[in-house]
């Protein structure tokens, strides 16, 4: 089975516990299980990771670049300002699908209207809730 990494950035470990009006009721553990199930149905071996530490996400992106592993990335708030993540995404060798649970472009805060990930993404899926992760895995399976 082809390997896919789903990488989630800061505060996404709080999913389902706060701001359900924006991010829904699914917890991160439930999201991880759903991603593994959706992946299995698509013939993908999905591993889900979440971190609140930017250096850890950079290490994972570098690991994925070296192993040419496709990625589903929700870099959360780092999406909007981390040039380190921009540089790490630039050297990926397999497709990257950018996912956001909400649609940052439709939210009132101006800072959410920029993404350092989008220039390196094969596809951007935003505003689809948790289902966006399923759609991202489907896109990667189709590209496989």
Query: Which residues are tagged catalytic?
Result: 23, 100
Residues contacting ligand CA2: total by CB under 6 A: 17
Per the listing, tokens 């996912």 go with 99
When binding is defined by CB under 6 A, the residue of 101, 116, 125, 140 that contacts ligand CA2 is: 101
Distance CA 106, CA 102 (A): 8
Q: Identify the three-state secondary structure at position 24.
A: coil
Q: Which C-beta is closer to ligand CA2: that of 43 or that of 113?
A: 113
Q: Which residues of 75-95 are buried (b: 16+ CB within 10 A; e: fewer)?
A: bbebbbebeebbebbeebebb
When binding is defined by CB under 6 A, the residue of 27, 36, 65, 112 that contacts ligand CA2 is: 112
When binding is defined by CB under 6 A, the residue of 50, 51, 82, 102 that contacts ligand CA2 is: 102
Q: Measured from the CB of residue 126, what is the shortest distance to ligand CA2 in angstroms?
A: 7
**Does 104 engage in binding with ligand CA2 (CB under 6 A)?**
yes
Distance CA 31, CA 123 (A): 20
Per the listing, tokens 């930017």 go with 54
Q: Identify the three-state secondary structure at position 129.
A: coil
Stretch that binds ligand CA2, among 12-20, 35-43, 55-63, 84-92 (CB under 6 A): 12-20
Sites of contact with ligand CA2 (CB under 6 A): 11-12, 14-15, 17-19, 23, 74, 76-77, 79, 100-102, 104, 112
């Amino acid at each position: 089975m082809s390997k896919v990494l789903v990488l989630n950035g800061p505060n996404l470990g709080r999913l389902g516990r706060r701001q359900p009006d924006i991010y829904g009721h699914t917890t991160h553990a439930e999201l991880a299980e759903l991603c593994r199930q959706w992946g299995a149905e698509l013939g993908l071996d999905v591993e889900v990771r979440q971190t609140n530490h930017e250096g850890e996400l950079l290490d994972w992106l570098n690991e994925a670049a070296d192993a040419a592993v496709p990625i589903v990335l929700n870099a959360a708030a780092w999406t909007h300002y981390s040039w380190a993540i921009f540089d790490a995404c630039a050297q990926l060798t397999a497709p990257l699908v950018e996912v956001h649970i909400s649609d940052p472009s439709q939210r009132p805060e101006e800072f959410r209207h920029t993404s350092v990930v989008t220039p390196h993404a094969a596809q951007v899926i935003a505003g689809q809730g948790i289902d966006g992760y399923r759609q991202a895995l489907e896109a990667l399976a189709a590209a496989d």
